[in-house]
């Protein structure tokens, strides 16, 4: 697989996503901040005063969720440059400076990815950062720095990056195409209002508030569905490859 991937967006097809919800931490439970989040945010804050483009933590998590759910393996040397909006790993290393900093940064990203991947493999993906079922979905679009918007933005970036990983014949054979489209719409809709309005027209809805509320309510099911589709195809592909190698 090369490091360059297609960036053309595929239209989504609306469809009710299957039931099932990810595990939710009970309210009132103290949240333990992962060490990798602290380390990553330290780098992000340090680079914010420099001429270096870099995803914030929420955007990173949305992006890595897509990478973890991809139907084929995407290697770190392929996706890490995207975090910096860089051409390759060499350009990333130049931005990071010393070898020690590079090692710490790559370690933070890898730990974050592995945590997300663990949830995907168990079909218990983490809910998007910033998701709260008590939120007013319309207000999310009115907030410049809402965590869910950043997460959705990272999700969109990830979808564009791995677009050529999806095999249309396999999607058709397993009847996943429409489901993949609907879940992608739900998980990306809060990235920006113009995209949400475009989706609303596509599904022939006219009330933006009701549309936003519907999309928001489907997020827990959608993230579980997206992870299931990608990982199911990934595992099936590995089994086929294993049989070919054994013959």
Contact status, residue 215 vs residue 152, Cβ threshold 8 Å:
no
Read off the pLDDT of residues 197-226 as tens digits, 9 standing for 90 and up: 999 999 998 999 999 999 999 999 999 999
The pLDDT assigned to 144 comes to 86
- Calculate mean pLDDT across residues 61-80: 95
Dist. CA 180–CA 126, nearest whole Å = 18
The pLDDT assigned to 6 comes to 43
Read off the pLDDT of residues 106-154 as tens digits, 9 standing for 90 and up: 999 999 999 999 999 998 999 999 999 999 999 999 988 999 999 999 9
The pLDDT assigned to 16 comes to 36
The pLDDT assigned to 147 comes to 96
Please give the angle made by the CA atoms of 172, 183 and 41, to the nearest 5 degrees. Answer: 130
CA atoms within 13 A on the CB side of 149: 17
Read off the pLDDT of residues 9-63 as tens digits, 9 standing for 90 and up: 333 333 333 444 455 555 555 567 899 999 999 999 988 777 778 999 999 999 9
The pLDDT assigned to 151 comes to 97
Contact status, residue 95 vs residue 194, Cβ threshold 8 Å:
no
Phi, psi (deg, nearest 5) at residue 244: -65, -40
Read off the pLDDT of residues 153-199 as tens digits, 9 standing for 90 and up: 999 999 999 999 998 888 888 889 999 999 999 999 999 999 999 99
The pLDDT assigned to 69 comes to 96
Dist. CA 2–CA 18, nearest whole Å = 33
Dist. CA 22–CA 195, nearest whole Å = 26
């Amino acid at each position: 697989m090369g490091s360059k991937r297609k960036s053309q967006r595929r239209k989504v097809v609306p469809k009710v996503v299957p039931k099932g919800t990810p595990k939710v931490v009970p309210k009132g439970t103290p949240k333990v901040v992962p060490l990798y989040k602290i380390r990553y945010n330290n780098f992000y804050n340090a680079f914010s005063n420099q001429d270096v483009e870099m995803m914030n933590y929420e955007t990173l998590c949305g992006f890595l969720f897509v990478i973890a759910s991809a139907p084929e393996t995407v290697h770190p040397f392929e996706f890490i440059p995207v975090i910096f909006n860089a051409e390759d790993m060499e350009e990333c290393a130049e931005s990071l400076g010393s070898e020690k900093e590079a090692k710490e940064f790559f370690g933070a990203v890898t730990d974050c990815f592995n945590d997300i991947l663990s949830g995907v493999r168990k079909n218990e993906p983490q809910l998007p950062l910033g998701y709260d079922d008590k939120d007013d979905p319309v207000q999310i679009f009115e907030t410049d720095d809402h965590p869910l918007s950043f997460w959705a933005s990272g999700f969109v970036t990830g979808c564009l990056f791995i677009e050529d990983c999806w095999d249309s014949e396999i999607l058709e054979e397993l009847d996943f195409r429409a489901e993949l489209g609907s879940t992608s719409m739900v998980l990306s809709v809060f990235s920006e209002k113009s995209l949400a309005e475009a989706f609303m027209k596509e599904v022939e809805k006219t009330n933006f508030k009701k549309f936003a509320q519907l999309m928001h309510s489907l997020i827990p099911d959608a993230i579980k569905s997206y992870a299931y589709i990608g990982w199911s195809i990934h595992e099936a592909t590995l089994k086929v490859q294993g049989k070919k190698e054994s013959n």
